[in-house]
């Protein structure tokens, strides 16, 4: 079975802000948490394409 973590979403205040500000530390911390929880992949929901993304 392949496990996919789906907690990283631009609609989240914390992760949305980190993505917009290109704050790698916050994003990396969640990726590590997902890996430690046994996820094989992380689904990044970065929203629609736009000028600020």
Read off the pTM: 0.66
Decide if 27 contacts 9 (C-beta within 8 A): no
Residue ranges covered by each domain of the chain: 4-41
**pLDDT mean by block of 10 residues, the chain; 53 residues:** 86 84 90 93 78 56
Decide if 4 contacts 43 (C-beta within 8 A): yes
């Amino acid at each position: 079975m392949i496990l996919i973590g789906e907690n990283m979403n631009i609609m989240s205040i914390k992760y949305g802000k980190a993505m917009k500000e290109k704050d790698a530390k916050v994003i990396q911390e969640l990726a590590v948490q997902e890996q430690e929880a046994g996820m094989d992949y992380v689904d990044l929901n970065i929203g629609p394409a736009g000028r600020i993304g």
